[in-house]
Homo-oligomer: A and B are copies of this chain.
């Protein structure tokens, strides 16, 4: 008989660029999603959960004349028929859902969605190939009130999840204003336009003089390499610079600067009017420039969107992995996109939306120490006598029924030290001990593990005598005594629960 070839053991690893989330990481994200959903819902948005898998055709990631789907998506072919793919955002599926159900959905259709999306991109530090998004979109409204509302909602949402006013800013810009600038410059469609847009994108890094050089002959970058310029005449840069530096003290002053930057361009004037409308609507609801401000330096996403664009930035500093202070930066962005549904139906449907990067927002709150990333460890009932497991189960059932998180130690009970080590690892505040003697006397030992750890670290003998970390209590008083200890450490909720 032929020898069966032994299969090597599989590697226990997540695929490259993927990760697992444990304990508080999971519950903190769930809490944040719930909080965001509540704000979105209060604003009149309805929940939608589309399938994680879409046809590549619907996602629109099939390049013409190419056999395989575009890069950037995880895709596979079903038995020589359809190509399927994991969604890479929540907007493309929304366009598909709206086109598919447009006769049954209200118009305008306000919907929110939350869940993982997948990107087939090179992973990097802190950049994963699966991450959460939390979107809200209004489909079927051309009114600037829809855009203003989404900015107001974004501001409310950030405060609801624990970013206080002053620690964030929502900045608004408008794609049409940029188009107006290009029109004033005399830059039409084509390569020059692309080169100008790329240059504008670099404003953050190279500043005004850098942009002037790059639009003209070119410039030496920091590494000493020479970057070719777009080759425009020096004065052509003026409208771009006027646009990029138009932010002034207050929205009206900014709007006046923008008007002069795009003077003579119809599309540009339409863009400035849209910004003006949004500012007025936000003002009426009490959202001033301390929360939402017009800022023409917002260029992210200008290529994708067709009208207003906005971005929420956290303004506080955090310490990066190398100990240097840095701005946290953007946590959400969105804008108006009026062409997505037309792919399916041929009819243009105006739409505007926002996407919150939930994982980035969680990282920001953690970096600021505003999430404990700790959870309540369970009360651990130790096992002194493995034949009396039923008694221990009775104790644990009693605690759980009183809404106290608890468990019986289920490992090998032989070594009692291991049981206490386990309780320590779980972050347990209290351990319960009941051997045969205690059972006969109708009592239990209750060990305050938090106090015990403190005493072990730095208590004097007197303190130790005064506040013993272990007490003996009548069995009938178990729940009450455990609650007392939890309360001492500020762990008991108002309703007496510990969960």
Listed in ascending order, the chain A residues whose CB lies under 8 Å from chain B are 5, 7, 9-16, 18-27, 29-30, 34, 37-38, 41-44, 46-55, 57-58, 60, 64, 74-76, 78, 82, 84, 86, 96-97, 99-101, 106-108, 110, 116, 118, 129-130, 138, 140-141, 143, 145-146, 148-149, 152, 156, 280-281, 283-286, 343-346, 375, 378, 389-394, 396-397, 400, 403-408, 410-411, 422, 425-426, 499
A53 to B106, Cβ gap below 8 A? no
B12 to A44, Cβ gap below 8 A? no
A100 to B, closest residue via Cβ: B12
CB < 8 Å neighbour of A141 from B24, B41, B345, B411: B411
Shortest CB distance A133–B (Å): 14
Shortest CB distance A123–B (Å): 12
Chain B residues near A53 (CB, 8 Å)?
15, 18, 74, 86, 118, 129-130
B143 to A11, Cβ gap below 8 A? no
A-B contact pairs, 28 of them (CB 8 A): A10-B60, A12-B58, A12-B96, A12-B344, A12-B345, A15-B78, A15-B82, A16-B82, A20-B101, A21-B47, A21-B48, A25-B47, A26-B49, A27-B37, A27-B41, A29-B49, A42-B403, A42-B406, A44-B406, A52-B116, A52-B118, A106-B425, A107-B411, A107-B422, A138-B410, A140-B411, A145-B410, A285-B397
A344 to B9, Cβ gap below 8 A? yes
A140 to B, closest residue via Cβ: B411
A143 to B, closest residue via Cβ: B410
Chain B residues near A10 (CB, 8 Å)?
55, 57-58, 60, 343-344
- What are the 6 tightest A-B residue pairs by CB atom distance, in nearest-first order? A44-B407, A76-B76, A12-B99, A284-B390, A26-B47, A18-B51
A48 to B76, Cβ gap below 8 A? no
B108 to A410, Cβ gap below 8 A? yes
B55 to A13, Cβ gap below 8 A? yes
How many Å lie between the Cα of A18 and that of B76 in the bound state? Answer: 16
Chain B residues near A18 (CB, 8 Å)?
51, 53
How many Å lie between the Cα of A46 and that of B27 in the bound state? Answer: 9
| Identical chains in the assembly | 2
B143 to A41, Cβ gap below 8 A? no
How many Å lie between the Cα of A96 and that of B11 in the bound state? Answer: 8
B23 to A46, Cβ gap below 8 A? yes
B405 to A281, Cβ gap below 8 A? no
Chain B residues near A29 (CB, 8 Å)?
49
* Interface-centre pick from A23, A145, A422 (highest chain B CB count, 10 A): A145
* Interface-centre pick from A24, A64, A410 (highest chain B CB count, 10 A): A410
Shortest CB distance A320–B (Å): 25
Chain B residues near A49 (CB, 8 Å)?
20-21, 25-26, 29
Taking A26-B47, A75-B76, A100-B13 as contacts, is the C-beta distance between A145 and B422 under 8 angstroms? Answer: no
B44 to A391, Cβ gap below 8 A? no
How many Å lie between the Cα of A288 and that of B415 in the bound state? Answer: 32
B130 to A52, Cβ gap below 8 A? yes
A15 to B394, Cβ gap below 8 A? no
Chain B residues near A38 (CB, 8 Å)?
499
A59 to B, closest residue via Cβ: B10
A389 to B143, Cβ gap below 8 A? yes
A346 to B42, Cβ gap below 8 A? no
B51 to A14, Cβ gap below 8 A? yes
